Chains A and B, each alone.
Chain A
Amino acid sequence: MDIEESELGKSILNDIVKNAEIARDEQVPICQDTGFSVFFVRMGQDLRLVGGDFNDAFNEGVRQGYAEGYLRKSIVSDPLERKNTGDNTPCIINLEIVPGDKLEIQCAPKGGGSENMSEVRMLKPSDGVEGLKDFVVERVEKSGGNPCPPVIVGVGVGGTFDKCAQLAKKALLREVGSTHPSSYYAELEKELLQLVNKTGVGPQGLGGRVTALAVHIEAHPCHIASFPVAVNMQCHAARHKSIVL
């Protein structure tokens, strides 16, 4: 709020805070887009699940949660036919097998408006870090007011075409304001946030200093020929919840 210079921008940021307070007090969704249900699941390899169906269990949870919570059902069964499934299923599960005997579930409902402004680009190794910076800034600039700025920018670097996109989404799970464990990436995140906030996009794309609240990066080894970079946009309604069973 202190760094926003635009009067209209300040007023919008104020309303966003007020909205969060009303949502908390009245237990009504902060935004009507209650998202695609995305889960990140870390399953301990010593754990054995007996009976039932792993995927069905998640879908049943979504079904019950979206009905009982009066959340919006935003999923169509086929991208071309476009018939609403009526219960927000199916969900998307990213499963990772890890040592131990715990089951850790992170739920991150993802809004469509910000998702639509995301992109994967296969850069060349010669593009280097400057190429990455140009791409991230360009994506934010082109998105303008569409993803409901101020946004959180998730950046995936490396891996393959698909891995990279998943990394960008995973980057959004990190607490806003947290720093990357590697000092190199922590510095790069800081620099990217400054660059993004120089675009002038501002709150809701009407001009201002606060375009993004954070830039989070996740990196992964990649092929000698490749330099994939993915940008996953997240609006200011960044919701997640985790549980360990």
Chain B
Amino acid sequence: MNSNKIRIETPLTDDLVKELKIGTEVLINGTIYTGRDAAHKRMTDALAKGEKLPFDPKGQLIYYAGPTPPKPGKVIGSAGPTTSYRMNKYAPAMYDAGLKGAIGKGEMSAEVAGKLKEHTGVYFLAIGGAGALISRSITAAEVIAYEDLGPEAVRKLTVNDFPAIVVMDCYGGNLFREGIEKYKVA
């Protein structure tokens, strides 16, 4: 529908993130990592103990998601985003460790917004409940850590034009606040 989507590649650089203002629609290419509640608890526990993460977070994006199992011959099942606010507690440590951004649904906290400013980070929205559509842009998937967590394991995904929208940027911009303000009827 929208023809002015920007194609971006991971890992993200500061220069690129500075161009990503709220409302910008992007197509993400390269590698992204999945992680949700249980994996974040393990990853931030590891960071607190001075241990390494299962992947090098520098410049990378984490996708808050737990996909359905792939059918035979498929790379992945349905793979939409989960609600991001549950990661508010863990996200700051991840950004401090070098993470550049996250993909999820719903708003994140003021503390996370502060980290996006501090580390030139970005938060994207993928359409919640569009797991079948989104899975089409995932060309490879591999569990790289915490296999015992099942759907919550950390997966390395290769994505080709993964659709997302910039909803919180490194300037403090927040599309949830601005968008709702615009359409609210007093």
B-binding residues in A (CB < 8 A): 5-8, 10-12, 14-16, 18-20, 22-23, 26-34, 70-74, 82, 84, 86, 113, 116, 144-148, 198-202, 204-209, 235-237
Besides the contacts A18-B133, A32-B66, A33-B66, what 10 more A-B pairs have beta carbons closer than 8 Å?
Answer: A15-B130, A28-B131, A72-B66, A82-B38, A148-B129, A198-B185, A201-B180, A204-B128, A206-B167, A207-B181
Q: Report how far A201 CA is from B183 CA in the complex, Å.
A: 8
Question: Which one of A12, A30, A70, A84 lies within 8 Å of B131 (CB-CB)?
Answer: A30
Encoded as 1 (CB less than 8 Å from any A CB) or 0, chain B from 70 to 113 comes to: 11001001111011010000000000000000000111000000
Q: Are A30 and B129 in contact (CB under 8 A)?
A: yes
Q: Are B82 and A33 in contact (CB under 8 A)?
A: yes
Secondary structure of the A side of the interface?
loop
Interface size class of B (residues with CB under 8 A): 35 or more
Q: Are A204 and B133 in contact (CB under 8 A)?
A: no
Given A22-B136, A205-B106, A206-B176: A145 in contact with B77 (beta carbons within 8 A): no
Q: Are B77 and A8 in contact (CB under 8 A)?
A: no
Given A74-B151, A144-B180, A235-B129: A30 in contact with B78 (beta carbons within 8 A): yes
Q: Are A19 and B133 in contact (CB under 8 A)?
A: yes
Question: Which one of B69, B133, B149 lies within 8 Å of A22 (CB-CB)?
Answer: B133
13 A-B contact pairs sorted by A residue (CB < 8 Å): A8-B23, A16-B127, A16-B129, A19-B129, A19-B131, A23-B131, A29-B78, A31-B132, A33-B66, A70-B77, A72-B78, A74-B66, A235-B129
Q: Does B68 contact A (CB under 8 A)?
A: yes
